[in-house]
Structure 1
Amino acid sequence: MYVQDLQDLARRRSDAACFDVENPLGLDVRLFAHPSVPVERDAFLQLFDFLDVCRAIADIRDAEARGRLTFFGDAPACIDKVVLTPDFHKGSLVPVGTVARAQHMCIPQAIGNDVCCGMRLLVTDLPADALEPHWPAIQKRLRAIFFAGERDIPMSPRQREAVLRDGLPGLVRTAADNAHHGIWQRFDAAIEKENLARAHAEGGFPTRGLFGFERFIMSSGRVDGRDPQIGCVGGGNHFVELQRIDALFDGHAARDWGVSKGCLAIMIHSGSVGLGHAVGGHFMDRARSIFPTGITSPKGGFFPLPTSGPRAEEGHAYLDGMGNAANFAFANRLFLGLMAVRAVEEATGRTVGAKLVYDAPHNLIFRAGESLVHRKGATPAPGPSGADYHGKPVIIPGSMGAASFLLAGSGHADALESACHGAGRALSRAKTAHVPKDVFARELAKLRVVGPIDPRAPHLARRRDILEKYERRVMEEAPYAYKAVEPVIESVEEAGIARKVARLLPLCTVKG
């Protein structure tokens, strides 16, 4: 069910792309969306459940003032602002496209288990048209490298620990451990050191500990040991996509970022896979277990962890674990990019130069003093600063049958410097199963999709069970499952959150 008239959920429209949302607690909640962007009522109901945590926080602080318990202490814990991005839609825990600024506390469930899911964009010096004669070979190499055991990413225990503690800086620092083996032969430490400036927070968050990942770090104990996590695309809406740079809207920014019309680009959307799920699950349980007795639990299980006051260590322990998972996600996206370049080079027989445009996370808590900005399915969109007079790159993908966009952030304060991370779902994953098979077949016929299996392989002809499972997963991510991306981009531009720099069209999509 979609809201046809967004005014019935607004008390005051600020402009065509923004309005304030009435809510049960009277909080500052603002949605940035053009009227042409459909918005689910269920997403608002899920949001209101999330906002009940504010009632629970107020109850805790009132009980503390009466001397009944100790939790936040004197810290004025609260959520003081919520922003909803144009792709706002119902999620598994909290609506995707929700940005909440909290003070003196964090809420693990507000970003979920897919910690540091994010986007990485590479542009190459290879014309996209040069791939045309090679698509069968490219798809074959992509499947072999991503799914058939040819990742070839050796990692020493020292490298794994450096990644979890420091992210991309740790990876650069320890690159010599496997410099002449596997994927590391494509890793240029000098270039990747320069690339740190092209990643949010330089691609890493210093952490105090390792959140029980010691066994993962040791793995086999070998200097060139392998593991099943590094180089994993992940499931759901994660992907690695080969794209053609189709149009430029800001030639100055495009030139400075190395973006040229007609060239091949590689877009990566992935996160911390199993590591993020371990961190998220543990600390959601921890937040629930320490929630004060006698206080009505917040709806939806959104239990807070203090970052100030007598129980501040609870929140800081979570932020450390979140940092470990986030650091892994940055490194994982880097390897996925190297793997894609390798596949293209091996299939075409050509050397491909690839430049990083930017790497930015979506699902993460971002610290700014005692403020903690929770972004779920939303990406930072900082504006110009110092020598960076374009603003930071903002990467907004479409569905695997639609355009993606590269934009430049404007640093919109009222939007908490946040943009959406995609077009947003139009159909839930469950509802996609009811789309007629002929509609799905027509959509799939237009696309190049590389998954763990080749559905046309002769040995699978009689394995209907495997083929049906594969089709269900692809159906969940089919183009019709998502909203049109153009109205979403128009909302971002019209609201002054970011401006268009380039449009990229999909050529081939790798799905886990």
Structure 2
Amino acid sequence: MRADARPPAARRNPLMPARQDRRLVRTGDHWLHLPNPCGVPAEICARDDVPLEHAAVDEALALLETARTLERLAEATPGYDGPEPRIARVALTPDFHKGAGIPIGTVLETEHALLPQAVGNDVNCGMRLEVTSLRADRVRPRLDALERRLRHLSFEGGRRIALTPVQREALLRDGLPGLLLADGAPWQGVHSEDADDALDRMHAPGFPAATAEAFADWVGSAGGASHDSVIGGIGGGDHFAAGNRFFLSLTMRAGLAAECGGVDARLLYDAPHNLFWQDGDRVVHRKGATPAGGHEAMAGGPYAMWGEPVIVPGSMGAASFVLRGHGDPRTLASACHGAGRRVPRGASARGSDAELDAFLREFRVVTPLDHRDPVVARRSDVMAAWRRDLKQEAPWAYKDIGPVVSSLHGGGVAAPVAELRPLLTVKG
């Protein structure tokens, strides 16, 4: 990790469009405007060396047509005399790419409306960053043993994390605080910083409390009480995902402690994606995007002087970056959640075997399958399936992270603080 990190320069990607989409209008070195028939303000934060798919622009324009759909729904609803639902603004982050109906990297602000598809199925997909007392030179000599340990913990039943029905319900209903405080929880008092952080965030202004309880009054007053089940489902997904990241961190802590000796670890930040953020009648939807609030959003907390931590992971083997948010209104105080896919999964799976082999010689990926096991290596069918799966997440499948982070920096969205270089990746 190094402070005041500078992202690397871009590589030319032959699989992406060489020219900017003609429907986009560049308004500055780091910004483009997307004109649309509905007149919704829509901007993209991206330098000219960040590839943008034509198909993703198609999806963004189709999404903007939802503004007309909201108008027609209000007109066609018998007895509805409430405020007009509308899309107020759309921002697209540098990792913008085609999704399933709505582009990944979309930030959408609505008034008097909720759009569940603008959250998607993978509710509260997110990043959790922990800082340990270990130095890289202490871990490197133990990577072989750590790889075996993490495979056992992650995929071979070594975690031994068992939840009672009461604890599972507490997690889904009340999130991580409910789980940590539930009767019989074996980790009570062990990781108090996680409970404190989760409780603080639960009660902080602007926290994505996408639960039926938190939204019931607001949804009901807008005549949308029938949406409670949708909101409750998103809330349950939100809570489950936060708990899942917590357990993943416990697994990593256990593996490091077993192979590297005593380890002190603390949570730096847990950054959610794919949620609603509600403020009165205004709702910000982030699909494949993460909050990047400034000083005001962090007031009263440990990051008040810096801005919200923004975690932008690279692909397997590539650098990741930690930034501090500026609360930029053009992006609705949001940043990207990664480098962004540049090659579809199907095309990635047909990538070069030679490139994959070269990557695996230089970098460690812990998967359920140990490809170095001679018994496994003799199964050509198993190895072929394993290689296809790994290629879908290989470095060539993603954009270069350098121009993506530089776009955030130059566009005034977030400033780089540290660059993180990976030693090992665990991939399910």
TM-score by length of 2: 0.88
Q: Is the 8 A contact 2:212 2:235 kept in 1?
A: no
Taking only aligned residues, the RMSD between alpha carbons, in angstroms, comes to 2.2
1:8 matched to 2:22? The reply is yes
Q: Is the 8 A contact 2:311 2:321 kept in 1?
A: yes
Shift of 1:208: 4.5
Q: 1:422 to 1:199 in 2, by over 3 A?
A: farther
Q: Where does structure 2 lack aligned partners over 5 or more consecutive residues?
A: 1-14
1:93 matched to 2:97? The reply is no
Q: Is the 8 A contact 1:492 1:498 kept in 2?
A: yes
1:465 matched to 2:381? The reply is yes
Moved over 6 A (4+): 200-204
Q: Is the 8 A contact 2:175 2:239 kept in 1?
A: yes
Q: Which residue of 1 aligns with 2:226?
A: 314
**Secondary structure of the corresponding residue to residue 167 of structure 1:** helix
Q: Is the 8 A contact 1:73 1:309 kept in 2?
A: no
1:35 matched to 2:39? The reply is no
Number of aligned positions between the proteins: 403
Q: 1:310 to 1:33 in 2, by over 3 A?
A: closer
CA distance in 1, matches of 2:203, 2:427: 27
CA distance in 1, matches of 2:352, 2:29: 36
CA distance in 1, matches of 2:191, 2:361: 41
1:234-258 deviations in Å (ceiling 9; x for gaps): xxxxxxxxxxxxxxxxxxxxxxxxx
- The one-letter code matched in structure 2 to 1:367 is Q
**Secondary structure of the corresponding residue to residue 133 of structure 2:** strand
CA distance in 2, matches of 1:437, 1:422: 25
Q: Which residue of 2 aligns with 1:19?
A: 32
Q: Which moved more, 1:501-510 or 1:153-162?
A: 153-162
**Secondary structure of the corresponding residue to residue 121 of structure 2:** coil
Shift of 1:316: 3.1
- The one-letter code matched in structure 1 to 2:246 is L
Q: 1:208 to 1:109 in 2, by over 3 A?
A: closer
Matches within 5 A, 1:41-440: 41-64=54-77, 69-70=78-79, 73-174=81-182, 177-179=184-186, 184=187, 188-196=190-198, 205=209, 207-208=211-212, 307=219, 311-348=223-260, 350-385=261-296, 386-387=299-300, 388-440=304-356
- The one-letter code matched in structure 1 to 2:276 is I
Q: 1:365 to 1:208 in 2, by over 3 A?
A: closer
CA distance in 2, matches of 1:329, 1:414: 28
CA distance in 2, matches of 1:166, 1:371: 24
Matches within 5 A, 1:499-510: 499-510=415-426
Shift of 1:310: 6.7
Shift of 1:456: 1.4
Q: Is the 8 A contact 2:202 2:209 kept in 1?
A: no
CA distance in 2, matches of 1:496, 1:11: 19
Q: Is the 8 A contact 2:211 2:234 kept in 1?
A: no
Q: 1:464 to 1:136 in 2, by over 3 A?
A: same
CA distance in 2, matches of 1:105, 1:195: 30
Shift of 1:9: 2.7
- The one-letter code matched in structure 2 to 1:457 is D
Q: Is the 8 A contact 2:50 2:403 kept in 1?
A: yes
Q: Is the 8 A contact 2:308 2:325 kept in 1?
A: yes
- The one-letter code matched in structure 2 to 1:341 is R
CA distance in 1, matches of 2:349, 2:248: 29
Q: Is the 8 A contact 2:210 2:231 kept in 1?
A: no
Q: Is the 8 A contact 1:204 1:327 kept in 2?
A: no
Q: Is the 8 A contact 1:198 1:357 kept in 2?
A: no
- The one-letter code matched in structure 1 to 2:348 is T
Residue of 364, 385, 389 corresponding to 1:448: 364
Q: Where does structure 1 lack aligned partners over 5 or more consecutive residues?
A: 210-305
1:344-369 deviations in Å (ceiling 9; x for gaps): 11122x11110101001111111111
Shift of 1:92: 2.7
Q: Is the 8 A contact 2:23 2:35 kept in 1?
A: yes
Shift of 1:441: 1.5
TM-score by length of 1: 0.74
**Secondary structure of the corresponding residue to residue 65 of structure 2:** helix
CA distance in 1, matches of 2:60, 2:404: 20
CA distance in 1, matches of 2:423, 2:289: 25
CA distance in 1, matches of 2:410, 2:153: 41
